[in-house]
A and B are shown apart, each in its own frame.
Chain A
Amino acid sequence: MPEAATLEFRGAIKRYPGHEEPAVNELSLTVPAGEICVLVGPSGCGKTTAMRMVNRMIDITGGDILLDDRSVTDREPAELRREIGYAIQQIGLFPHLTVGDNIATVPRLLGWDKPRIAERVDELLELVSLDPGDTRDRYPAQLSGGQRQRIGVARALAVDPPLMLMDEPFGAIDPINRESLQNEFLRLQQRLRKTIVFVTHDIDEAIKMGDRIAILKEGGHLAQYASPAELLMYPADKFVEDFVGADRALKRLALQRVRDIDLWKAATVRVGEPVPGARAKLDDADIDYLLVVDDDGRPRGWLSDRGLSGERVTEEFRSKAQPVVEMDDVLRDALSDLLESETRYGAVVDDGGRVQGILSLEVISHVLQAPPEEVPHGADAFVPED
């Protein structure tokens, strides 16, 4: 099987007998290989129907759906489904089978031999951060919700399918575990680069997970198909604008990290430095303050022109070096830190705590003017914690 497939909806229609309006109405969009396409919209918009049309859990009544240029309607449903990973909100683990046997479902259908299956099960458990020896022989009822969700993802990945369908896979999880599962999944996607169709009703999840987002409105109409940043900057209509929410700029800042943007240069001085030199640095700096750092380059406090009275720089800071922003911080969080503090500037430090630059409200508003192509998305926007 290829590592990732290209998926194309070509005017796909689902019309139920007895209903005047189709559930999905001439849906056309292409998901490039290796990208996450999020289908999002209010309930009744046909997002789940659209997803289920791909593996023929629901058959289209018009148009076509192509997987690597081959129509899904030409394929035997059971055979097609074995090539497509399938994970749903309720997970649907088989309660009568052990975790190992659950994961082995599709490999067995495809006739893999026992050693290969056993090896693959352990590999997948490790992939989703579970200990194979501890988990393999347990039954689903013996696991926590988060663990079950991981098993569901592992089971969907069992035969390394080129396409994955995920219907609110993290929907039934509490917010804290949900966030960590999302992060874990994006980290996984950085390695696997599967083509993924991901259904959710949560626009924040869509913005976080999607390389591209398809917003559907009632009656199965595609309202907009774009990258998260593009959607936030140029909503196609009132519906999209309302759906993404009034805090579009803040949502966009959530897509970027401090390390992704151009910072102001910091004018740093050390205590005991001669004042004339420090004053010269202040004249060159982007802002009216000098940042006093210790011998290791860590920020200690802000110094204004008035503080440069004697011969040497003293510890009479105008204010402490608060806030301190880290390179991996999400811009939205960094902005929040800035708004909370009395200074308009934040010292940005690297992993060692050394000053790398200055973040200001002006820098952030400048970022918001950048074209959407420059904003990372999906797994690319995600920086691993370690």
Chain B
Amino acid sequence: MTLAQVQIQQREGGTCEANNGFCPDWIADNLDRYVDPFLQHVFLTVTSVAIGFVIAFALALLAHRKRWLLPPLSASSQILYGIPSVALFLLLLPITGRGSVTGLIALVSYTLIFVFVNVTTGLDGVPKDSVDAARGMGLTERQLLWRVEVPLALPEIFAGLRIATTTTVGLAALAFFAGAGGLGEEITRDKGFQSNIAVAGGLAVLLALVLDLLILVVQRLMTPWRRAAM
């Protein structure tokens, strides 16, 4: 924790700063030093969710077609999720070294379960009579999947994506353990200083909210039929 002490010494300003208080002036002056960590946080979150989504979605489709794959795949994603995050970051260090790659690998492994479970639940929840009608009208299995099952599973899939995204924003705050940077690094750099916590923490919360809203908007655009029922 020597780093943090160095930071305290470097902190400039009046009594507010000296008392570790919430200092608007200091925040205004120092906002630019959060830009890079914030962008790194966005990069970690978006990249790991995207990679995790592709992997989990593909695995869920596979398990949907080959039902026997469902229990082992579910179990694997649960085990991955069950590993404490800090431990996973540290576990990976000797293998992949410090840096973004290690951070991404760990974060991706946490997104898998949300997407996998929700895609699977969504596909299982597609009305049986729609599936029967689709087959009866001559849709091939592939057409059935992409034209009927996946569109009807979209609400569940988006729900999984939202949980995965907000969770990842939080977990990415620990990615600095793997040397992947992000807002977590700023928080720990001077964790006794309220202004620092407020800005770094606030940016993380803001990021989670913005990403969540973004996904929600896309979901509404892609599922116009959901609003028609009302």
Contacts and interface: CB of A to CB of B under 8 A. Distances in A.
A141 B134 CA distance: 18
A235 B196 CA distance: 91
Contacts of A361: none
B137 A86 contact: yes
Interface stretch (B51-59, B101-109, B125-133): B125-133
Contacts of B11: none
Contacts of B225: 95-98, 139, 141
Contact of A79 (B138, B154, B223): B138
B218 interface: no
Contacts of A370: none
A138 interface: yes
Interface in B212-230: 223, 225, 228-229
Nearest to A79: B138
Contact of B138 (A81, A95, A98, A155): A81
A171 to B, nearest CB: 12
B230 to A, nearest CB: 9
Contacts of B128: 90
B118 to A, nearest CB: 17
Interface in A64-96: 77-83, 86, 88, 90-96
Contacts of A77: 138
A102 to B, nearest CB: 9
A57 interface: yes
Chain B interface bracket (under 10, 10 to 19, 20 to 34, 35 or more): 20 to 34
Contact of B127 (A95, A105, A106, A165): A95
Residue of B130, B132, B151, B229 most packed against chain A (CB within 10 A):
B130
Given A95-B152, A95-B225, A96-B225, A78 B140 contact: yes
A236 B138 CA distance: 38
A96 B223 contact: yes
Contacts of B129: 88, 90-92
B218 to A, nearest CB: 16
Given A79-B138, A94-B130, A109 B143 contact: yes
Contacts, number: 78
Contact of A88 (B132, B138, B228): B132
Given A139-B228, A141-B225, A92 B130 contact: yes
B148 interface: yes
Nearest to B152: A96
B65 interface: no
Interface in A217-276: none
A78 B138 contact: yes
A200 interface: no
B136 to A, nearest CB: 4
Residue of B134, B136, B140, B228 most packed against chain A (CB within 10 A):
B136
Given A81-B138, A109-B139, A165-B136, 5 more contacts: A78-B139, A78-B140, A88-B136, A106-B138, A139-B225
Interface of B: 127-140, 143, 148, 151-152, 154, 223, 225, 228-229
Interface of A: 55, 57, 77-83, 86, 88, 90-98, 105-106, 109, 138-139, 141-142, 155-156, 165
